[in-house]
Amino acid sequence: MDYLELIIIIEGLPLRRTFRCCVENLISLTSGVMLVRMSEPQVLGRYIDAVTECALSHKETSSILEKLGLSSPQYSEWYPLALFHRFLLYLMKFHGDEALFEVGKCLVTNTPFPDRVSTVQDAFRSLDLAYTIVHRNQHGSMYGLKSKSDFQIVVVAANPYPCPFDWGIIQGITKRFAPNATVSHDFSHGCRLDGDPACHYTITF
């Protein structure tokens, strides 16, 4: 087995790390010196671009993306999900939950849905498939839909993203397909911000 010693430049400082992995299982990213294992969770460049476009109103966005090696994501290239996750956590830490919530809403506004998606239930059922198209090396359902009553449905988000981001996405979808409905977080089932595996969002018609 071959070993690679990688030098990742962050904020101008070289951080030397040794990764015990096969050369064949590595792909290079646009940052040049950064490599990522094929087996780790990854996100497609076009998704990073769509999300960050919604966050560019914050003046620090461009600089933090550059430091993470995500400033110019290539449309069809794969990037470490951990780095993108750090970017979202940065937004939430320095600009609050509301900033991440608004990014999620903006993402929905800028995303076209297939013609076959005509109801809010259709839209929520399509979430898990949409997620798998732009992410890889993750297992299990990242979104689920449950019927709670004739007037309520529950969307379960079990992906790695912070709760406010998904809350914004779900709010955006609801307002787009069922503008009179309301969205609430059922904290009795826990929250990912508290270390729980999933968040439950109730949509009431």
Domain ranges of the chain: 4-95, 119-204
d(CA 31, CA 65): 11
50 and 111 Cβ atoms separated by less than 8 Å: yes
- Angle 183-135-162 from CA coordinates, rounded to 5°: 40
* Structure confidence at residue 172 (pLDDT): 98
Quickly state the pLDDT bin for 72 (edges 50, 70, 90): confident
Query: Worst-scoring range by mean pLDDT, 58-72, 77-91, 110-124, 182-196?
Result: 58-72
* Structure confidence at residue 167 (pLDDT): 98
124 Rama sector, left if φ>0, alpha if ψ -120 to 50, beta otherwise: alpha
Mean pLDDT across the chain: 83
Q: How many CA atoms lie within 13 A of 193 on its CB side?
A: 16
- Burial annotation 127-160 (CB, 10 A radius, 16+ → b, else e): bbebbeebbeebeebbbbbeeeeeeebbbbbbbe
Instruction: Express each pLDDT in 13-25 by its tens digit.
Output: 333 332 233 223 3
Measured from the Cβ of residue 6, the count of other Cβ atoms closer than 10 Å reads 14
pLDDT at 3 over 90: no
Instruction: Express each pLDDT in 124-180 by its tens digit.
Output: 999 999 999 999 999 899 999 999 898 999 999 999 999 999 999 999 999 999 999
pLDDT at 40 over 90: yes
Quickly state the pLDDT bin for 66 (edges 50, 70, 90): confident
**Percent of the chain with pLDDT strictly greater than 90:** 68
Measured from the Cβ of residue 51, the count of other Cβ atoms closer than 10 Å reads 23
Instruction: Express each pLDDT in 87-101 by its tens digit.
Output: 999 999 989 999 999
* Structure confidence at residue 1 (pLDDT): 31
* Structure confidence at residue 26 (pLDDT): 31
Give the global pTM: 0.80
**Percent of the chain with pLDDT strictly greater than 70:** 80
CATH class of 119-204: alpha beta
| Mean pLDDT to the nearest integer, 6-12 | 31
- Report how far apart, in Å, the C-alpha atoms of 159 and of each of 92, 97, 125, 149 are: 17, 17, 15, 25
* Structure confidence at residue 13 (pLDDT): 33
- Report how far apart, in Å, the C-alpha atoms of 55 and of each of 51, 112, 141, 151 are: 7, 19, 27, 34
